[in-house]
Structure 1
Amino acid sequence: MKRIITIIVLLVLLKPCVEAQNKGFTLEGCIPGMKDGIVVALLSAEDNERPTLAEDTVRNGCFKLRGSVPHPTLCTLITNNLENAPKTANGEQANIHWTYTDVFVDNAPMRVVTDHYDSIPVNEPVTKHFAVEGGKVQEDFNTYNRMLLTEKEKGKELSDSALMQLQIKFIHSNPQSAMSVVLANNLLQGAYRLQREQILDLQKAITSVPDDTIRLAEFRKNSALALRSAVNSDLVNLPLFDLNGKSRNLTEVIPKGKYVLIDFWASWCSICLMAIPDIKKVAARYPDNFAVVGISADTNLQAWKNSIKKEKLGWEQYLLTPEGLKGLKEKYLVAGVPYYLIVDPQGKVVNSPVNAEDITKHVNQFCK
């Protein structure tokens, strides 16, 4: 009898877990003007391989996608008419039409709401005539994007600082939202871009995200790292090689007593190479109180050395070790290059410029 009672208790306890595993999402729509044969697919936007989570073909103007996600997942909803696009006399497809829509998918019923297939926007997740609705996660995603849309309708582009303020405003208004923790994690990307007070403010605001505990754990880890690399903090060390293959450390190769631009670059990075002429100009303008140090993310030693010679780089050059490359991603929360830092004469990181124009502006401010 006790065994039967024990089994019943276990079944009761396991029921919510089983139901949670069986629960998934649906994303459907019956859209005027959407022809039969159009393929609709949902792809994850959080994986470099962009796996397909669900796919359907339009029948009678309708589609329905089914699947499940382990936690709220940023995705792209794609439609195309490749299967039924008209063909030219040469047999080539003509009038091919694709749409791409960002959505935030949770295990909830969702639907596309729009006036017409032609109303699906090119680059906007929500407009006055189009939205994906359903579930708290997507609702918050729409609220945030409507805030952006309102600003765009004012006719001026948001500056980086204005965008940050808008994101922080959303976070404070929706501290338990999965969208808020997405925005917070994005704000923490790239070391030395936030003040310590800003990081602490995010930590104070976001303490519980019931819909996305996985991303909450990521935020807690990222914010702890960010506190070590806030503006006006010491430089976080990374292991390097010099041009002769000798092991060095980032903290030991930075000149003391002057402002220093640390240029994280790579020979294969076209944006990095395009910035070099501007960096040369600003370095020539302040030869006494400003220096540049190049830190390459190359994995091809010869390509790195060839690029230094080709670009006639006159400042010190170092190469990240494999451990250094890993540290750039994990300690600095930097996904790629170019990435720039400005260190003051006391060895504190005072700025992280976003491009060559930003470098020139801040170096002029510091060194004039």
Structure 2
Amino acid sequence: MKAISKLVLLTVLTCACTSQGNHNLTGEISGLSNDTILVIKSDPLTRKSLGIDTIAVKENRFALNTPDSSLISLYIIEKPKGNGAIRMSSNPPFILLPGEKMRISGHIDNLTASGTEIYDNINKATDITEKENEIRNLSNLISEAYREKDSKRTDSLKVIYKESSVQLSSLKLNYIKNNPNSILSGYLFLSLKSSDGTEAEKLLGENIKNGPLGELISKTAANYRKFTAIERASENIKPGKPAPDFKLKNLNGEEMTLASFNGKYTLLDFWGTWCGWCIKGMPDMKKYYAKYKNKMEIVGICCRDTENKWREGVENLQLPWTNLYNGNDDEIVINYAVTGYPTKILIDPQGKIVEVFVGESEELYKKLDMLFK
């Protein structure tokens, strides 16, 4: 959000045009309190920002030209007043293909797109759009229950939300089965459950896989395969199960395996220098390492970093325990069913899993105190 705020300061207010024919993004938006919107652009493949346009809306209408040479993802939100924080859109990002013209319409909290093959077709797929609206309403209700600190209602709504999300993925998969050569099928493929995604990949027509969404489809398919494998592996990453072996290099370039730490408790810490919550938890980990280092070893496993960034991170953070480098390899991430960072996995002296801790939690340190005090 800080990065977005900096970009906002660099944008120049663009006047809305009453004649919208020469622009590839036009629209009519209601519900604005200050007649100004932000159009946040990014590359959906790399997720890199392509900048933010600040657009004046006159008589609910706006128009602008966006980059036209490549696939682009667009978030449209109301510009906050004064120095207010940006409130992220309740609308999903809109995908604009090269050479297309898109029209946005509706209330700022419930926008729809038209004018492109994807969105003209999805507007006809009423079973999908109705389920999407149902899920959006559930999301709003969950936020409301959370603000009211009604945990019972929040938990109940989350169960319904999960069930509805499964149903939506099934509806999308069914559309792909019946329309394998439709560009909409390529678009729907990007937001499936992992297990549905691995099935849908086999169904998509070659024209779609090789079309303008091709690279994004390929990357998404790889993620589906990865997370399907993680879901299978998660059945074995439970207390009492043997911890999977691994082979990674330490700071001296020496290969180490899980057996290197047999005979004492081992805490695997999956982290990265890019992970703010990982870094935030280091002081507590250092405190507990100093407290119990004669009874356990912490093994930091750095993921999704270059080797140079890993080495710099270990040095700058002065991490006193064993540090291993994984980089972008998926094998250990899949085998240990890592879905978020940090993930900490406690292993007993016999190599069996004691407990898994995702995120920063006091529960880890309570467990260590219970074991070692």
TM-score (ref. length: structure 2): 0.56
- Alignment of 1:105 with 2:114, yes or no, is no
Deviations 1:167-219 (A, max 9, x none): 5322333232568974745xxxxxxxxxxxxxxxxx37985498998346642
Contact conserved, 1:54 with 1:66, CA < 8 A, in 2? no
The aligned residue for residue 142 of structure 2 is 151
- Segments of 5+ residues of structure 1 without an aligned counterpart are 1-24, 86-93, 115-119, 121-129, 186-202
Q: What SS is found at the alignment partner of 1:340? A: strand
Larger Rg: 1
The aligned residue for residue 28 of structure 1 is 27
Contact conserved, 2:39 with 2:74, CA < 8 A, in 1? no
Q: Which of 306, 311, 328 is the matching residue for 1:326?
A: 328
Q: Which of 293, 298, 303 is the matching residue for 2:299?
A: 293
- Segments of 5+ residues of structure 2 without an aligned counterpart are 1-23, 114-122, 173-187, 210-216
**CA–CA separation in structure 2 for the residues paired with 1:140 and 1:110:** 22
The aligned residue for residue 341 of structure 1 is 345
One-letter amino acid of the structure 1 residue matched with residue 164 of structure 2: F
After superposition, the Cα gap between the structure-2 partners of 1:278 and 1:158, relative to the gap in structure 1 and judged at 3 Å, is farther
Contact conserved, 1:329 with 1:335, CA < 8 A, in 2? no
- Alignment of 1:240 with 2:219, yes or no, is no
Q: What SS is found at the alignment partner of 2:285? A: helix
Contact conserved, 1:239 with 1:247, CA < 8 A, in 2? no
One-letter amino acid of the structure 1 residue matched with residue 358 of structure 2: P
The aligned residue for residue 170 of structure 1 is 164
Q: What SS is found at the alignment partner of 1:227? A: helix
What value does the CA root-mean-square deviation take over the aligned residues? 5.2
Deviation at residue 44 of structure 1 after TM alignment:
3.6
Deviations 1:93-139 (A, max 9, x none): x678966424243679774433xxxxx5xxxxxxxxx3124635665
The aligned residue for residue 275 of structure 1 is 281
After superposition, the Cα gap between the structure-2 partners of 1:293 and 1:173, relative to the gap in structure 1 and judged at 3 Å, is same
Contact conserved, 2:278 with 2:342, CA < 8 A, in 1? yes
**CA–CA separation in structure 1 for the residues paired with 2:287 and 2:87:** 43
The aligned residue for residue 48 of structure 1 is 47
- 1:1-368 to structure 2, matched below 5 A, reads 28-31=27-30, 38=36, 40-44=38-42, 46=44, 47-51=46-50, 58-63=57-62, 75-80=74-79, 100-101=88-89, 102-105=91-94, 111-114=104-107, 130-133=109-112, 135=123, 140-154=131-145, 155-156=148-149, 165=159, 168-177=162-171, 182=191, 184=193, 203=195, 207-208=199-200, 214=217, 215=220, 218-228=223-233, 230=235, 231-232=237-238, 235=243, 239-243=247-251, 245-253=252-260, 255-265=261-271, 271-283=277-289, 290-296=296-302, 299-300=308-309, 303-304=312-313, 306-307=315-316, 310=318, 313=320, 315=321, 317-320=322-325, 324-328=326-330, 331-332=333-334, 338-349=342-353, 350-363=355-368
**CA–CA separation in structure 1 for the residues paired with 2:86 and 2:308:** 37
After superposition, the Cα gap between the structure-2 partners of 1:138 and 1:73, relative to the gap in structure 1 and judged at 3 Å, is farther
TM-score (ref. length: structure 1): 0.56
